[in-house]
Amino acid sequence: MTGERATDWLGKRAQLSPGRVAIEEVDSGNETTYWDWNQQVNQTAHFLDSCGLGKGDLVSTLASNSKEYIDLFFACTKTGTVLHNLNWRLSVHELIEIMREAQSNILFYSSDWQNQAHALQSEFPELRLVLLSKNGDKDVSSFGHRETMPKEYDQKPIKLSDPWGIYYTGGTTGTPKGAILTHGNMFWNSVNTITSWNMCHEDVAPLQLPFFHVGGPNIFLLPLVHLGGKTLLAKEFSVDQTFDMIENGHLTHYVGVPTMYVMLQNHSRWNQADFSKLKLVISGGAPCPLPVMKKFWDRGVDFKMGYGLTEASGNNFWLPPGEAAEKIGSVGFPLFHIDMKVVDEEGRTCQANQEGQLLIRGGHVTSGYYKRPKATSEILQDGWLHTGDIARKDEHGYFYIMGRSKEMFISGGENVYPAEIESALHAHPNIAEAALIAIPHPTWGEVGKAFIVKTNGAQLDENQVLEFLHARLAKYKIPKEVVFLEALPKTAIGKLDKKQLPV
């Protein structure tokens, strides 16, 4: 199917369900029907054309969740441009490296990130900045000018194999890698979700996850558009706003990371909340603690864990209703059009309950990393995505995710790779050696603990180390503890032995 033409998602849905409410903006209460939304996205597509952007060109975006952001997303399905999602949690230093690699000539940004956008323009003077604004200036140089554009648009020829978006995932070293997700990847992820997660046109789900994250469009926005359902669009996660949506928003589906669920359960409204309308509550991004799951089960909620990764578009498993408490820790079975296997270090398929690396195959798997052929060849081999994550499959076919890749840990739903932080630490002139490990944290799940050996005679304290990292790394990557040692433990052949570090 890779050569087939991609669908104009909103164009089709506007014809089939013109009067249904597609988007409700939670902060303002504004509702947009599929018919009106399609016309607004058509205007956005004309605006992208007027910017000189054509098929394959990057539409770099540094923005908080907003209607305008997702308008850009769907405008890419009409123009063939590629939504280049920038993580606003990254430091300017990290964003500069990404933009240098991308060589994009335009950046759409929201006012929250104005300083970062202008810092990027200072680094790249040819970069055109466009402020995403609902009531923007109608001047031809501003995003508000789209409102003067025609409301009809003929989709450009786009194949399922063409890229739709680039979503950045952490790397073991250096700059984050951009996973290319094609129109086919997004289509198959939606089909898998709809057919396996029992969704229908009456379903309602919030969009709280950052839209730069693969979960933004894929859990559950695109499946709901596919069906004609409704999305409640929020700028960000808010505990009170979430309880309001549960009570008044007719939610049927909800996704969050464990930290979000902990915050909900620690809130005064938890005991009074009515969860009876929710058909599905699912946790992703990190292993969810069993006590958190049990609190939902005690309230009669079919709470379960999922498993996803950017390179596989977000959704991969389904655990049938009522089985989460019986199969504790299981993520269930592969979705409808997905193949999975667990292999040992020699690539042989593991026996039942034998741990090994999880491999994934399906139309939802990335075509590769943007401008990273070597990294692409390492994860995509013989049609299989090598996740680097450890899993097992029991004798009945249920999958269990035993752990992420050997050193990576997850803090507040975000992947953290120790090698990246260690690399940044080694850039300090007074640091001779550095190592980072994960330690438990009651709110964020896991955080980093750094071990440092100073250069001979150097004066260095914890605050100086953290200040140095804050200028180079996203906040969630900054270690919470710094320990100074005379030497780091080594193996017999001179490799760093993290197992011997004093936790």
Q: Where along the chain do its domains lie?
A: 9-15+28-180, 335-403, 409-500
Q: Which two tokens stand for residue 463?
A: 């605050």
What pLDDT sits at residue 266?
Answer: 85
State what percent of residues in the chain have pLDDT above 90.
77
Residue-wise pLDDT tens digits, 304-315? 999 999 999 989
Give the span between the Cα atoms of 311 and 414, in whole angstroms.
15
Least confident range from 107-121, 167-181, 210-224, 470-484: namely: 167-181
Residue 503 has pLDDT above 90, yes or no: no
Average pLDDT, the chain: 92
Give the span between the Cα atoms of 166 and 198, in whole angstroms.
28
Is the domain 335-403 a CATH 3.30.43.10 member?
no
Q: Which two tokens stand for residue 224?
A: 């709901």
Over range 377-381, report the average pLDDT: 96
- How many Cβ atoms from other residues are within 10 Å of residue 240's Cβ? 10
- The DSSP-derived string for 132-182 is --TT---STTSGGGGGGS-S--PPP--BTTSEEEEEEE--SSSSPEEEEEE
Q: Which residue has the higher pLDDT, 60 or 408?
A: 60
pTM for the full predicted model: 0.86
Distance set, CA 304 to CA 31, 259, 295 (Å) = 31, 15, 12
Residue 419 has pLDDT above 80, yes or no: no
pLDDT band with cut points at 50, 70 and 90 for residue 493: very low
What pLDDT sits at residue 171?
Answer: 47
Give the span between the Cα atoms of 167 and 310, in whole angstroms.
7
What's the CATH code, domain 409-500? 3.30.300.30
Q: Which residue has the higher pLDDT, 44 or 428?
A: 44
- The DSSP-derived string for 232-277 is EE-SS--HHHHHHHHHHS---EEEE-HHHHHHHHTSTTGGG---TT
Over range 480-484, report the average pLDDT: 95
pLDDT band with cut points at 50, 70 and 90 for residue 258: confident
Q: Which amino acid is at 314?
A: G
Residue-wise pLDDT tens digits, 167-212? 998 644 456 899 999 999 999 999 999 999 989 999 999 999 999 9
Q: Contact, 252 vs 200, CB < 8 A?
A: no
- Topology of domain 9-15+28-180, CATH: Rossmann fold (3.40.50)
Over range 362-391, report the average pLDDT: 96
> Left if phi > 0, otherwise alpha if psi is -120 to 50, otherwise beta: which for 362?
left
pLDDT band with cut points at 50, 70 and 90 for residue 331: very high
Residue-wise pLDDT tens digits, 339-363? 999 999 899 999 999 989 999 999 9
Over range 413-441, report the average pLDDT: 87
What pLDDT sits at residue 173?
Answer: 47
